[in-house]
Amino acid sequence: MLAGPYATMMLADLGAEVTKIEPPDGEISRQVSDAYFASLNRGKGSVRLDLTAPEGQRQLGELVANADALLVNLKPSAIRRLGLTYESLRDTNNKIVCVAITGYGLYGGDDPAFDYVIQAATGVAALTGEPDGPPTLPGYSSADNSTGLTAALGLLAQIVSGRGGQIDVSLRDVMFSQLNYHASAYLNGGVAPVRRHSGAHSYYVPAQMFATAEGHLALFITHDGFWRSFATEAGIEGYERMADRAEHRDEVVAVVSSVLGTDTAANWEKRLRPLGVPAAAVRSLPEALERNPDVVVDSGGFRTIRCPVGVAGYQPDYRCAPGLEDVRP
């Protein structure tokens, strides 16, 4: 519903000709809302095929014969049963790149693998939230979106190689990969990650959310230069070295919290940004979009978020997503 459509929408934005294959009754995400479908399928063509029937397989073969790649987002057993692997299609087109997006790998079984389930299974949810509260999840589909981008990267890399082949991308592997430094600390030093108050970073101090006189501020001090600039503006003395701040984490956080409480999040952002200090007031999505109207584009009557990849001299054609009534059977 999301990972595969997002991957192929990114490719369509970048100039690929993308044909979406839907079942006879249409893809299931059409049932969520028109706006949801538009946010993941702009710029694509679409056909409705019954891949369980001989005629549908014949039509699939016609598409495959002239395609650079086939990206599939289904259960592993369905991918193999419907003949949507490189092994099944190489005789039709040995240059085609076949990408399988699954929960646990093309040969990893059919266990349910939706975004939230994967976040729970890989340790992401356990790292999110307050230390004395329950595990929680980010407010968007981070596993699906990340997997979609990874799949698009794998597809392009294989096309650049000039060889056909099978690309296997799983939500599980992508989320483990995104836990990179947490996993390395545990695997190489036995240091298990823990949830910290206000989303504090494991290594950098102060790098977390802080309450202010009004609203919350994200402050991210990653090196001593940032600290000097911040401390001078905030009137804080000491803790000049990163190691000192890490060793005295609780003291530093307490001092910073006290100072930040003397002004609003919006004002702190205005004061710190000109100094090059990474800081931002926490905003709602509507507030953020109002401040960043340049990220919004029109795609056939739906307002969506533009492609995040800017290519010099190229402007994406933000065409509408195909309506089901426009999709030929």
Distance CA 306, CA 294 (A): 8
Q: Burial code of 183-197, b = ≥16 C-beta within 10 A, e = fewer? A: eebeeeeeeeeebbe
Q: Beta strand pairing status for 279-281 and 216-220?
A: antiparallel
Residue 263: both structure tokens together: 């002004």
Q: 277, 285 in Cβ contact below 8 A?
A: no
Residue with tokens 């990340």: 146
Active site residues: 144
Distance CA 145, CA 271 (A): 34
